[in-house]
Amino acid sequence: MTEEDEMEFNYNEVVAKVADCLVRAGSTFRQDKKNAYKCAIANEELERAKWNLETILDNAEVAEHDRSPLCDDTGIPHVFVEVGPNRCLTGAMMTAIQDGVRQGLIDLPGRPMAIMGDDAGRIDMSGGISPNSEDLALAPFLVKEVEEDVLRVHILMLGGGPAIRGITHRIFHKHNLQVVLDEIVARAKDGTRLLGCTPCALAVGVGRSQFEATSMMMEAMVYGDFSKQNEMEKYITEKVNESGVGPLGLKGKTTVLATFMKVGPQRASGVRVVAIRPGCCFEPRHASVEL
Amino acid sequence: MEIRTITAPFTDEVLSSLKAGDIVNVSGTIYAGRDAVLPRLVKKIEDGTFAETGIDLQGGVIFHTAVSRAGVGPTSSNKAELEGTMPQLTAAGIRMFLGKGELKKETIEMFDKYNAVYAVIAPVTALLNSKVLSQKCLFAPELGMEAFYELKVDGFPCIIAAAHGEILK
């Protein structure tokens, strides 16, 4: 690190802040999520559905108190950075953020699930699993310029179950919004039925390419608020809930707690690329910190 | 709401009394394994070398989970390596699988032949960790968190999702 970089930020402070942010992401329900659970409990008629939701909420209280993992699949760390007009994200700072993620994985602790080896060995796991939580590499950074003059790091911990049931695929819209919404609902119904860890926070991104759609989906998870739902989000939630999959897939009214949808720029063509992630009952495991 | 406590390994009598929809606390000695290790155990059953492991599967429970410093929690039981190994493990003595997610109809029908059941356990790691009394690796330690473990547990909360050919409705 150069002297100039050192003058721009305090490395130890960034590492500590990011580590704390990761622990909060992996162990804490935000208040809007707690409120959504309480509403769902009140709304459920089936006794076991209520019990499932109450158990998940109890677990969140214990995890928050102990600063311990909500789920043993502590997730793959994803970092989303907001950069204001007069703020700077340097390579040195990105390194400090990565080091903060490593420290956070030690502190949480994260599940040791980094696969070692070369390309082939990492695919078939013949390279083995590292015993160290902190060896889990974070996903590529996403960076977004914002109007607020801030440098804010968001951490999302993405679990394996929703990755199995997520899908990024094209939809031919036929110049009709309803066609796209109904296809999202159909795909979400399939995903949530097999997910097991419902109720779901459904994340949806619509873009012009697979990359853009997935980026939009990530942004939807970063900015999503359980208490603020637009008409499209409400429609998707209501329609998927008609499936009756319910908490833990054991029937009930609450298959989806909320939908977080971000629509990006669109292509002048008949296709929309749509990324859907049926987040589990703990997702989005998200926290943020200003640097 | 009535919540029974049942202690593993299970007798046929206990298994016969379970109904889809029952909420139970599972205590006693259970096993933990998932994608990497269960196919290995099945291979040993099939090639006649399972006795070398010294593991007693009779009346036993397999919890589909990793065991790590992050704790325990169910992975999806409908993954190929997990649902696909249920028939052989059940035939060899296992009588309850703890996991999550929907199983195939033929799997549920297979359970009925052996008086075996499927129970769903919430992925409530923070709660479950407080109920694990001890853990011991029994097989394939080189797999790390995906090795086969014995857990002594006190009151894992579960819902019987399938029993005697009936699926929770």
Query: Any chain B CB within 8 A of the CB of A44?
Result: no
Query: Any chain A CB within 8 A of the CB of B76?
Result: yes
A71, A192, A255: best mutation site toward chain B, by most B Cβ within 10 Å? A71
Assess if residue B22 is contained within a domain.
yes
Containing structural domain, residue B140: 4-162
CA–chain centroid gap for B68, Å, is 17
Contact A188, A199 (CB under 8 A): no
Please tell me the predicted confidence (pLDDT) of residue A3: 53
* CA gap A170, A102 in Å, rounded: 36
* CA gap A17, A211 in Å, rounded: 29
Query: Any chain B CB within 8 A of the CB of A250?
Result: yes
Chain A partners within 8 Å of B156 (Cβ): none
- Å from B159 to nearest chain A CA? 8
Assess if residue B168 is contained within a domain.
no
Other CB atoms within 10 Å distance of the CB of residue B45: 18
Alpha helices in chain A (DSSP H): 3-8, 11-27, 31-43, 47-66, 91-107, 119-124, 160-165, 177-195, 210-223, 231-241
Chain B partners within 8 Å of A60 (Cβ): 126
Tell me the C-alpha to C-alpha distance, in Å, between residue B107 and each of A64, A260, B13, B152. Answer: 38, 35, 22, 27
- Please enumerate in sequence order all residues whose Cβ is within 8 A of that of A227, keeping only pairs 6 or more positions apart, or say none: A32, A35, A36
In this predicted structure, the answer to whether residue A4 has a pLDDT above a threshold of 70 is no
CA–chain centroid gap for B95, Å, is 8
* CA gap B135, A259 in Å, rounded: 39
User: B152 pairs with which residues across the strands?
Assistant: B29, B134
Query: Any chain B CB within 8 A of the CB of A127?
Result: no
* CA gap A110, A102 in Å, rounded: 9
Chain B partners within 8 Å of A125 (Cβ): 36
> How many distinct structural domains can be found in chain B?
1
Apex CA A177: angle with CA A172 and CA A183, to 5°?
55
Q: What is the pLDDT of residues B120-148, one digit of tens each?
A: 999 999 999 999 999 999 999 999 999 99
User: The CATH number of the domain where B100 resides is what?
Assistant: 3.20.130.10
Q: Span A181-198, mean pLDDT? A: 95
**Most distant CA atoms of chain A, gap in Å:** 63
Assess if residue B167 is contained within a domain.
no
Decide if A55 and B68 are in contact by the 8 Å CB cutoff: no
Tokens representing A137 are: 């590499």
Please tell me the predicted confidence (pLDDT) of residue B53: 96
| Listed residue (A207, A203, A231) closest to A218, CA to CA | A203
pTM: 0.90
The band of B154, judged by pLDDT with boundaries at 50, 70 and 90, is: very high
Assess if residue B72 is contained within a domain.
yes
Q: Span B30-51, mean pLDDT? A: 97
Q: What is the pLDDT of residues A92-147, one digit of tens each?
A: 999 999 999 999 999 999 999 999 999 999 999 899 899 999 999 999 999 999 99
How many pairs of residues across A and B have Cβ atoms under 8 Å apart?
A: 125
User: Whose structure tokens read 């394996």?
Assistant: A160
CA–chain centroid gap for B130, Å, is 19
Q: Which phi and psi (to 5°) does residue A105 adopt?
A: -65, -30
Q: What is the pLDDT of residues A237-278, one digit of tens each?
A: 999 999 999 999 999 999 999 999 999 999 999 999 999 999
Assess if residue B98 is contained within a domain.
yes
Query: Any chain B CB within 8 A of the CB of A55?
Result: yes
Query: Any chain A CB within 8 A of the CB of B140?
Result: no
- Å from A9 to nearest chain B CA? 32
In this predicted structure, the answer to whether residue A283 has a pLDDT above a threshold of 90 is yes
Q: What is the pLDDT of residues A150-176, one digit of tens each?
A: 999 999 999 999 999 999 999 999 999
Query: Any chain B CB within 8 A of the CB of A110?
Result: yes
Tokens representing A281 are: 């009952």
Query: Any chain A CB within 8 A of the CB of B137?
Result: no
Assess if residue B145 is contained within a domain.
yes
Chain B partners within 8 Å of A251 (Cβ): 168-169
Please tell me the predicted confidence (pLDDT) of residue A7: 54
Residues 201-240 on A with a CB inside 8 Å of B are: none
Chain A partners within 8 Å of B157 (Cβ): 55
Tokens representing A177 are: 């919004």
Q: What is the pLDDT of residues A211-248, one digit of tens each?
A: 999 999 999 999 999 999 999 999 999 999 999 999 99
Assess if residue B85 is contained within a domain.
yes
The partner residue sitting opposite B126, judged by closest CB among A47, A66, A197, is A66
Going from N- to C-terminal start, the domains of chain A cover: 3-290
- Å from B92 to nearest chain A CA? 26
- Å from B13 to nearest chain A CA? 25
Chain B partners within 8 Å of A109 (Cβ): 69-70
Angle between helices A11-27 and A47-66 (to 10 degrees): 160
The band of A8, judged by pLDDT with boundaries at 50, 70 and 90, is: confident
- Å from B130 to nearest chain A CA? 10
Look up the ipTM and state it: 0.86
Please tell me the predicted confidence (pLDDT) of residue A2: 47
* H or E element in which residue B46 lies: helix B37-46
Tokens representing A32 are: 């809007």
Please tell me the predicted confidence (pLDDT) of residue A5: 47
User: Whose structure tokens read 């690190």?
Assistant: A1
